[in-house]
Amino acid sequence: MFDRPSPFRLDPRTLSAAFNGVVADVLARAAGRASEPVASAGSLEALERLVTGGVPAAGRPLGEVADELRNVVLAARARTDHPRFFAFVPSPVSPVAWLADALTSAHNPHLGASRQAEGPAAVERALIRWLAQALGLPEGAGGLFVSGGSMANLAAVVAARDAKLAPQARGDGVAYVSTESHVSVARALRIAGLLDRQIRVTPVDAALRMDPHALAAQIAADRAAGLRPFLLVATAGSTNVGAVDPLSALAEIAACDDLWLHVDGAYGASIALSPAKRGLLAGIERADSVAWDAHKWLFQTYGTGMLLARDPSRLAASFGVEAAYLDDAGSDGPDFWDLGPELTRPARALKLWLTLQVMGLEAVGAAIEHGFRLAEAAERAARATPGWEIATPAQLGVVTFRYAPEGLPPAAAEKAMRGAADLLLAEGFAAVGATRVNGRPALRICALHPEATEADIVETIARLDAHARMIAGM
């Protein structure tokens, strides 16, 4: 009848050898990622072969393909989890998260609904509850794990729109962001149906934080024009410079004007887990929703973000689904697939759970504080190096600075500075980002890795300086 051999079945020795190779590779990375180059491009021919190669009619040996995956495919990349990867928002992943990722993948729970995976569901609910408490959100707050900050921002914007605007009023709704808000917020607003004329970009103060006075004036003007202000998006930890908007003042305005307050804490909300730093988030407890990424400053692999909501029934009002084929699969109340846009969902919380259980809160707090200290060390080193100036001081693990030696025209200084960052990357030592602050070019160090040292930072600035001077001929 159907007793064909399984196409998945492999000789146990072959499978075991392949898994052992993976384990050896993973353990070598766990022992220290600092000895890897921070980025490697791979050979052009090998990449070309990958791009043009199809799928073979007859399968290839597992060991051979696994080696190709490890040595060719995965070798050609920036190692955003390297201790000296300071560009972008780095991803200082804990090896414990890898372990949970592998286990979760092997068991592959379906976490659309609790009934399909009660254990993983309990972990996700517990973590959401605990993270909401860490932010000071009230009992009853809820939410879910999503793929990252962009998705959390999108789901929050949709929930805000549905909570605050009747369908016939959507065309008059106005949302407020700042010049420093992450691009995913404007994209979320557009996906949610807002036109450019419905998005106000509020100015920022000298520290690049949303200006509450300017915001209040914009809201008043919009109301006077017959429009409907409905959503305020504040940032807790801006991507570019690590600024935290004045959350208490903004919460006050949102409360007085009946706006939904969404805080984009994708980057910065993790500091709530440091007793020494959580005060910087004062006011976040008044948010209606918060985006928070664990694949940034909570040591997880990509695809791990959280959306927290003061009133999770608002998420269910926007995303709840009903279908005959789901009738016997869900619980009585709203289930995970009712709280966000995904139906089939992986159990993203398990790796964060394992990591937090193994590290413990004290170590997590200390690891986060280490990021603050690294950026402060970078600020000190740049200040102490002639020819360099600080664009924005160290905050939340981020510092921006620029090469501006006396007598060198700005265009030449920019060329030297960018060239220096390129050389630093090319030699495999460190990755530093290029950005603009107040429209002026700058370099950016975002230092979050618990295994990065002050010596790494000092050496990075010293190499940048040597490269920049060489390029500028100084």
Site residues (vs ligand PLP, CB under 6 A): 89, 148-150, 153, 182, 184, 235, 239, 264, 266-267, 293, 305
The C-alpha atoms of residue 282 and residue 276 are separated, in whole angstroms, by 13
Q: Output the smallest distance, CB 182 to ligand PLP, in A.
A: 3
DSSP reduced 3-state for 270: helix
Buried/exposed 61-90: b ≥16 CB within 10 Å, e otherwise: ebeeebebeeeeeebbebbbbbbbbbbebb
The C-alpha atoms of residue 144 and residue 352 are separated, in whole angstroms, by 13
Tokens of 236: 């807790």
The C-alpha atoms of residue 337 and residue 291 are separated, in whole angstroms, by 18
Closer to ligand PLP by Cβ: residue 124 or 414: 124
Closer to ligand PLP by Cβ: residue 229 or 305: 305
Closer to ligand PLP by Cβ: residue 267 or 388: 267
Closest CA to 258 of 233, 228, 284: 228
Closer to ligand PLP by Cβ: residue 155 or 381: 155
Q: Write the DSSP symbol of residue 311.
A: S
Closer to ligand PLP by Cβ: residue 80 or 235: 235
Q: Output the smallest distance, CB 256 to ligand PLP, in A.
A: 26
Q: Output the smallest distance, CB 236 to ligand PLP, in A.
A: 8
Q: Write the DSSP symbol of residue 5.
A: P
Query: What angle do helix axes 454-472 and 349-383 make, rounded to 10 degrees?
Result: 50
Neighbouring CB atoms inside 10 A of 133's CB total: 14
Q: Output the smallest distance, CB 50 to ligand PLP, in A.
A: 25
Closer to ligand PLP by Cβ: residue 162 or 245: 245
DSSP reduced 3-state for 319: helix
Closest CA to 244 of 217, 216, 272: 272
E-only strand ranges, 179-279: 199-202, 228-235, 260-265
H/E element, 355: helix 349-383
The C-alpha atoms of residue 204 and residue 202 are separated, in whole angstroms, by 7
DSSP reduced 3-state for 108: coil
**The one-letter amino acid at 285:** E
Closer to ligand PLP by Cβ: residue 227 or 399: 399
DSSP reduced 3-state for 460: helix
Closer to ligand PLP by Cβ: residue 165 or 448: 448
Q: Output the smallest distance, CB 93 to ligand PLP, in A.
A: 14
Q: Output the smallest distance, CB 277 to ligand PLP, in A.
A: 17
Q: Output the smallest distance, CB 149 to ligand PLP, in A.
A: 3
Closer to ligand PLP by Cβ: residue 112 or 397: 397
User: What residues have CB less than 8 Å from 233, skipping those under 6 apart?
Assistant: 153, 157, 175, 176, 177, 178, 181, 185, 262, 263, 264
Q: Output the smallest distance, CB 153 to ligand PLP, in A.
A: 6
Distance, first Cα to last Cα, the chain: 80
Q: Output the smallest distance, CB 227 to ligand PLP, in A.
A: 26
Closer to ligand PLP by Cβ: residue 334 or 340: 340
